[in-house]
């Protein structure tokens, strides 16, 4: 019978890999909590209209990449391609703003997009998402960016660059869009098929294209920075001042528009040269009109997302450094020894000691190999002869040293030795 394999682009995260994932998630929770953020958990499945209205129907995500299906209730549902819309939907649905005008939230989990799998980019991928709703002060923009930098520093990331830009607002962006549209129409033949379609549906998306010929063609295109209004310009100037307070270096990338339609004013990415053309490891920005567009109050927002697969692939410490270790392995030979080992193994587990034993009756040599494979700190060696002599051997697997322990109060003795390690 032919074996069933995983769906292309959907990866298993094996036990020897989960340690580093837990470490990243734990550090994120610690750092974000220090900045006053709280965790929210939202479903992976949402109504399709949520993403059409938030992300934009003319984006590549909605047009090409979403996993959408008609369920048995004749309703279109979509596996979430990003988290911001889901978090905002939850805040609106549960009237979060009525009892807390400022919502500082983060969520960690899988997202789904049907795009070409490549290094650090999968069809089921995982993100850490941060959303701050209710404040439009540029200090909040700087604070959110500072928190992101703190998190990446905690992950020991190096050679990263922060890029920032201002996308203007609903008042100044239409003028830029009109000028850009005229420029693109004159150069239409210089662009790829996708970009020629974008010229009509959403001209800003042309800046997002990674095709070299398209990048070259827009080198002389109008830039948003030349069209933003006084309020947006002042917001961006203050953002730069606040970043300088914390000595956060940045580059202004006036080509950066991000991949989602809802961004306004501040937008930012942290990029690395280690991933080729798809070089962003984290990114986000301000989305002041999004909550209102989804049926909520007119409150501003800003957030970012970090791709976990990319982040983990770039961490200087490998997955092997985060593999779970065992406190105690009990190697038992003989029926009486096995009986005592079973009782002792579970007794110390109840007391918080990570313990394991052999249930297959293998040789002592095989059991010691298994203790070594499980990366156990200590091994307790028991045999029927040792039980008759009221003793056991306690081996330190790191040092290679061994001591004899009496079986009287053996549980207490083991607990004491392990906790004193």
Phi, psi of 226 (to 5 degrees): -85, 0
Size of the chain in residues:
421
Asked if residue 61 lies in contact with residue 113, where contact means CB atoms within 8 angstroms, the answer is: yes
Residue 200: what pLDDT? 74
Per residue, the 3-state secondary structure of the chain, as one string, reads CCCCCCCCCCCCCCHHHHHHHHHHHHHHHHHHHHCCCEECCCCCEEEHHHHHHHHCCCCHHHHHHCEEEECCCCCEEEECCCCHHHHHHHHHHCCHHHHCCCEEEEEEEEEECCCCCECCECCEEEEEEEEEECCCCHHHHHHHHHHHHHHHHHCCCCCCEEEEEECCCCCCHHHHHHHHHHHHHHCHHHCCHHHHHHHHHCHHHHHHCCCHHHHHHCCCCCCHHHCCCHHHHHHHHHHHHHHHHCCCCCEECCCCCCCCCCCEEEEEEEECHHHCCCCEEEEEEECCCHHHHCCCCCCCEEEEEEEHHHHHHHCCCCHHHHCCCEEEEEEEECHHHHHHHHHHHHHHHHCCCCEEECCCCCCHHHHHHHHHHCCEEEEEEEEHHHHHCCEEEEEECCCCCEEEEECCCHHHHHHHHHHCC
pTM of the shown model: 0.87
CA angle, residues 89, 311, 161, in degrees to nearest 5:
95
Checking DSSP bridges between strand 103-112 and strand 45-47, what pairing results, if any? unpaired
Q: What tokens does 64 get?
A: 């090409």
Nearest residue to 145 via CA among 257, 290, 247, 272: 247
Cα 209 to Cα 124, 159, 256, 272: the distances in Å are 22, 24, 11, 18
> Cα(178)–Cα(175) distance, rounded to whole angstroms?
5
> Cα(299)–Cα(288) distance, rounded to whole angstroms?
7
Sheet holding 376-383, edge to edge: 355-357, 326-333, 376-383, 391-396, 402-406
* Cross-strand bridge partners of residue 380: 330, 394
Q: Cβ contacts of residue 41 below 8 Å, gap of 6+? A: 107, 109
> How many other C-beta atoms can be found within 10 angstroms of the C-beta atom of residue 365?
9
Handedness of CA 86, 82, 282, 63 (dihedral sign): negative
> For domain 15-172+228-314, which CATH number applies: 1.10.357.10, 3.60.10.10, 3.30.930.10, 3.30.1490.20?
3.30.930.10
Residue 258: what pLDDT? 65
Q: Cβ contacts of residue 4 below 8 Å, gap of 6+? A: none
| Residue whose tokens read 């109840």 | 350
10-residue mean pLDDT series, the chain (421 residues): 91 92 96 97 96 81 88 92 96 92 96 82 93 96 97 91 91 83 81 79 76 80 84 95 96 78 88 69 92 94 95 88 91 94 96 94 94 94 92 94 94 92 78
Sheet holding 264-271, edge to edge: 38-39, 103-112, 124-133, 301-307, 280-286, 264-271, 161-166, 251-252
> How many other C-beta atoms can be found within 10 angstroms of the C-beta atom of residue 121?
16
> For domain 325-419, which CATH number applies: 3.50.40.10, 3.40.50.800, 1.10.1520.10, 3.40.605.10?
3.40.50.800
| Residue whose tokens read 């270790």 | 325
> Cα(265)–Cα(271) distance, rounded to whole angstroms?
20
- Fold match flag (15-172+228-314 vs 325-419): no
| Residue whose tokens read 């096995």 | 338
Domain ranges of the chain: 15-172+228-314, 325-419
């Amino acid at each position: 019978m032919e074996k069933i394999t995983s769906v292309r682009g959907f990866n298993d995260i094996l036990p020897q890999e989960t340690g580093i994932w837990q470490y990243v998630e734990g550090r994120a929770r610690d750092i974000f909590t220090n900045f006053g953020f709280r965790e929210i958990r939202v479903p992976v499945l949402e109504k399709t209209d949520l993403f059409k209205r938030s992300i934009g129907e003319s984006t590549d995500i909605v047009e090409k990449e979403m996993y959408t299906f008609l369920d048995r209730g004749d309703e279109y549902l979509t596996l979430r391609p990003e988290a911001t819309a889901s978090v905002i939907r939850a805040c609106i649905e549960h009237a979060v703003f009525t009892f807390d005008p400022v919502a500082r939230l983060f969520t960690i989990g899988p997202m789904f997009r049907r795009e070409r799998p490549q290094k650090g980019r999968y069809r089921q991928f995982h993100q850490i998402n941060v959303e701050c709703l209710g404040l439009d002060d540029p200090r909040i923009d700087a604070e959110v960016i500072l928190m992101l930098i703190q998190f990446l520093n905690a992950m020991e990331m190096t050679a990263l660059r922060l890029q920032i830009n201002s996308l203007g607002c609903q008042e100044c962006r239409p003028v830029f869009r009109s000028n850009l549209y005229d420029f693109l129409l004159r150069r239409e033949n210089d662009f790829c098929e996708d970009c020629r379609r974008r010229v009509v549906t959403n001209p800003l998306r042309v800046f997002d294209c990674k095709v070299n010929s398209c990048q070259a063609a827009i080198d002389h295109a109008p830039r948003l920075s030349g069209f933003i209004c006084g309020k947006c310009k002042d917001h961006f100037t203050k953002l730069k001042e606040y970043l300088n307070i914390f000595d956060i270096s940045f580059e202004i990338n006036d080509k950066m528009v991000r991949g989602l339609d809802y961004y306004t004013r501040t937008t930012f990415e942290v990029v690395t040269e280690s991933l080729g053309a798809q070089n962003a490891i984290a990114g986000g920005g301000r989305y002041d009109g999004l909550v209102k567009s989804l049926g909520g109050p007119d409150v501003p927002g800003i957030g970012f997302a970090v791709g976990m697969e990319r982040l983990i692939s770039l961490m200087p410490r490998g997955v092997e450094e985060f593999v779970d270790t065992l406190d105690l392995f009990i190697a038992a030979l003989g029926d009486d020894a096995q009986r005592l080992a079973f009782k002792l193994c579970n007794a110390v587990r109840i007391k918080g000691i990570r313990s394991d034993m052999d249930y297959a009756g293998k040789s002592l040599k095989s059991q010691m190999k298994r203790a070594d494979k499980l990366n156990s700190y200590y091994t307790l060696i028991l045999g029927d002869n040792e039980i008759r002599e009221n003793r056991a051997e306690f081996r330190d697997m790191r040092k290679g040293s061994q001591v004899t322990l009496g079986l009287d109060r053996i549980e207490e003795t083991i607990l004491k030795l392990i906790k004193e390690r």
